[in-house]
Structure 1
Amino acid sequence: MDNLILLISCFVLGILLRRAGRMPENTPAVLNSFVINVSLPALTLLTLHQLHPQAALLYAALMAWLLFGLGAAFFYVMGKRLGLPGKTVGALMLTGGLGNTSFVGLPMIEAYYGHQALGIGIIADQLGSFLVLATLGLLVAGYYTAERPSIGAIAKKILLFPPFMALLAAVALMPVAFPPWLESVLHRLGGTLAPLALLSVGYQLRLGHLAGNSRNLALGLVFKLVIGPALLLLLFAGVLGARGEVLRVTLFEAAMAPMITGAIVALEHDLDPPLVGLMLGVGIPLSFLTLPVWWYLLRGF
């Protein structure tokens, strides 16, 4: 409960600080940069180094790939049926098909499942969401704007991404015991992720352009917060018979709000910016209401 109160407090503080004009406009960029380059790599190195490999972790790694594939198919079909512009379909794929598995996901996992479950979330984020965005996500963005990212550029983006470098280091150093002082330093640096990430998310919250976008917004959020995770629950638990904490945390990650970085890619490619802003501005606060429901439902698995 303490962790959840902290997250909500930081989210609200971000909103209030922006409204009060007490911090510079580039505050989110600075906070995001610290989280990406310091907090998340430290947390990745610490938690994955302590994680015990198990076959069930494949569910976490595959979740984002399956979710994005389902989302792309869903939004493509619905786009054809509703006559949506290509850029709107692309925006929905990049926001409704990708979950916020790091900035919101990791703090929420810690709040609902405890610190020991963060390793599962990091696997879902780094081997799932991040790689999907860096490959399929860029291809989708390029398809709807007639741009074609090169394989070399994609590979460079992946290999030089600090949290991914930390993931590789954590796996390589698994046989080596970390000294207590290093674990303490990594723990303190990693502990900055939750408050800074939620402060940044709150600071960036924008609500507007609802007129004329309500149908597309509902389409995107209903898939992201309800249909997508429900389909994965049916596949993993119903068809494959999976059970346990890895399944619960993986599906909890699948139910996260739209991914901020995916939205940034959509905005950079001018894919329906008003809708992208709404997917984040409405989706993130709404997920604070839907995630407890998913947590409750997943207790039986």
Structure 2
Amino acid sequence: MPSGDLISQLLALFAVLGVGVLLRALGRGGQADAAVLNRLVIDVTTPALIVSVLRRSGIGQGAWGAVAASTIALFACALAGIAVARALGLPRAAQGAAGLVGSFSNTGFLGVPVVLALYGQAGGAAGTAILVDSIVTTLMLWTFGVALAARMGAGGDVDARGLLRVLLHPNVLSIAAGLALHALPIPLPAWVERALDALGSATPTLVFLALGLSLDLRSLRGRVRPLMAIAAVKLLLGPAVALAAALALRLERPTSEVAVLQSAMPTSMVSVIIAARYGCDGQFAAATAVLTTLGSLASLPFVLEALRRLAP
């Protein structure tokens, strides 16, 4: 594990989330403001962060092993989410939502900033986190995730337009740019480097502030038991399976830890959109996203402490 007090670093990010919650409670901000910040993060600061990280460190050694471990955890949680929802007697649409939100993690919006805050550039950890987000979340969500939602809900099939959107996503394009700059390498003017670093470093703060502004506790009413069950799948089973897979694949640190942390992230917000779009229970999906985001306040420090204790 990286040096320093990792728990306090993570709690500092959640303190920023608390500022967003307070602003929402005081009527000084809300969902519309969060949407603006989200768009800024997706289109500007995260691509800048990706280019800045990858042009310096590239993809960490063994990163594809982290992708494999995270993928195994994703499929295990998708099956577990559907099985748990079925055992609780939830309708088919809610089962589909449970499979989506119980498996897909917020690896880009939260995972990459958290890994960067905890590890910096050490061992290519941030580059590995970016690869996991691109393959396990973005690509798998718009292929396997859409197919699952369409089958369990009332939507259509995967179309070529959806796949094209994946390839033209700002994060995917910035990965290509960052790797190209790293491989050639292509020197950048000092002012461009400083601009990329400044924009990229703003990502964690903006992410957690936007989450605080968008949290709506009213969506949890009346469905506590099934929501708690799916949240346990997402926040506990996911990192446990990723850890087992990382050990089986004999991944080295920090690659193994990145795989576990990415699988421990709360529900991907995009999976909520896909659940609703393809006929699954969108309200159940949104409530799970809220609960897992809140639950990660406790689960992520627990996962970090478990990884620390497992360190040789």
Shift in alpha-carbon separation, 1:268–1:150, aligned structure 2, 3 A: closer
Alignment of 1:9-88 (within 5 A): 9-23=15-29, 25-53=31-59, 55-88=61-94
- Looking at structure 2, the residues matched to 269 and 28 of structure 1 have their Cα atoms a distance apart, in angstroms, of 24
Match of 2:185 in 1: 176
Matching of residue 155 in structure 1 with residue 172 in structure 2: no
Match of 1:295 in 2: 304
Structure 1: state its 5+ residue gaps: none
Q: 1:138 aligns with which of 134, 141, 146?
A: 146
Shift in alpha-carbon separation, 1:63–1:259, aligned structure 2, 3 A: farther
Structure 2: state its 5+ residue gaps: none
CA-atom RMSD in angstroms: 2.1
Alignment of 1:226-265 (within 5 A): 226-237=236-247, 239-265=248-274
2:280 is paired with a residue of what secondary structure?
A: coil
Whether the 8 Å CA contact 2:103–2:267 is kept in 1: the answer is: yes
Whether the 8 Å CA contact 2:59–2:128 is kept in 1: the answer is: no
Shift in alpha-carbon separation, 1:151–1:77, aligned structure 2, 3 A: same
Whether the 8 Å CA contact 1:232–1:251 is kept in 2: the answer is: yes
Whether the 8 Å CA contact 1:63–1:128 is kept in 2: the answer is: no
- Looking at structure 1, the residues matched to 78 and 249 of structure 2 have their Cα atoms a distance apart, in angstroms, of 23
Shift in alpha-carbon separation, 1:86–1:3, aligned structure 2, 3 A: same
How far did 1:285 drift? 2.0
Whether the 8 Å CA contact 2:53–2:126 is kept in 1: the answer is: yes
Match of 1:7 in 2: 13
Matched-pair identity in %:
28
1:243 is paired with a residue of what secondary structure?
A: coil
How far did 1:154 drift? 2.4
Whether the 8 Å CA contact 2:106–2:267 is kept in 1: the answer is: yes
TM-score (norm 2): 0.88
Query: What letter matches 2:288 in structure 1?
Result: M
Match of 2:294 in 1: 285
- Looking at structure 1, the residues matched to 20 and 111 of structure 2 have their Cα atoms a distance apart, in angstroms, of 17
- Looking at structure 1, the residues matched to 91 and 235 of structure 2 have their Cα atoms a distance apart, in angstroms, of 23
1:149 is paired with a residue of what secondary structure?
A: coil
Matching of residue 202 in structure 1 with residue 212 in structure 2: yes
Match of 2:223 in 1: 213
TM-score (norm 1): 0.91
